[in-house]
Amino acid sequence: MDVLAFRGAYHGMTAGSLALMGDTAPREEVEVLGHVHHLPYPYEYRPPLGIGGEAEHRALAREVETALEDPLSGVEDPAAMVVEPVQGEGGSIPAPDEWLREMRRITREHDVPLVVDEIQAGVGRTGSMYAFEYAGIVPDAVCLSKAVGGGVPLSVLLYHERYDEWASGAHLGTFRGHQLGVAAGRGTLEYIVEHDLPAHAARVGERLTSCLDESADGRPELADVRGRGLMLGVEIVDAGQPANDDGSHPPDADLAMAIQRECFDRGLIVERGGREGATIRFLPPLIVSESEVDTIAERFEAGVAAALNG
């Protein structure tokens, strides 16, 4: 059976998840599963169809629907669609709410299970408990990890009861359901709910976004500030190169690395992701304070200024 995934996707480093990944480089030396169809994912700064805006989102949804309805599309009876509501390693790219609602409608009408990967975005990071909640959808399965363990390795798969066909004891393993991870996960979830960290992430995330917008103002090299809550990114481009037909400029990985180094020298660790690793990613702890957000912004501003003047 086939699986539907998306360009720019990142779902992990095992053979099965590598097959779903949009980046082909990590799987060059690995034998991965076949029959994965990578569909275009909405990307405001670099619209894959070159249309942009809501018209682009509708066209992208139609592309998915056509792939499932056209008998010559090459897609055969998909086992699932796997999607990140906010692409993480792909460059902190949030899916438009209406587009995600269309993915839910299309998969439901064609009896394709919708699997939402919330491993990076879930458990409060985007300003809601789960990023898919912005679109008001109910997926068939949700993958969770990272934050859910509160620092202890833990992953969780939530799915609709109609898919619960495991016989008792059929899914065994030394580290599955280990007590320390489950206890840490329960404590983490209780703390997040009790202190309403999703709302806190939304509030301080807006503050950080505003600061990043100020840094980008008047600097065409900082082409796009995007994300949700405390899952943010700034795409770095070579503004001296001619723009593409959609108005975007080529990614500037060298400048992004220079900014990352300058930030590190100032005590600020930032990730890079996206096309050519040219998106600076911000993933501060969910308990980050407003004053700490201001410090992050100040050190990023200083790092950008030093990299551009260097």
Work out the number of other CB atoms within 10 angstroms of the CB of residue 107: 23
CB 222 within 8 A of CB 310: no
What is the C-alpha separation between 117 and 134, in angstroms, rounded? 15
Residues sharing a CB contact under 8 Å with residue 136, sequence separation 6 or more, in sequence order: 97, 101
Nearest to 144 by CA among 181, 178, 118, 176: 118
Q: Write out 144-196 in H/E/C secondary structure.
A: ECHHHHCCCCCCEEEECHHHCCCCCCCCCCCCCCCHHHHHHHHHHHHHHHHCC
Kind of pairing, strands 141-144 and 156-159? antiparallel
Helix (H, G, I), strand (E, B) or coil at 273: strand
* Catalytic residue chosen out of the listed positions 10, 41, 45, 130: 10
Helix (H, G, I), strand (E, B) or coil at 259: helix
Helix (H, G, I), strand (E, B) or coil at 270: coil
CB 104 within 8 A of CB 139: yes
The secondary structure element, H or E, covering residue 282 is strand 279-282
Q: Which amino acid belongs to residue 204?
A: V
Q: Which amino acid belongs to residue 40?
A: P
Q: Specify whether 10 is catalytic.
A: yes
Q: Any idea which residues carry the catalytic annotation?
A: 10
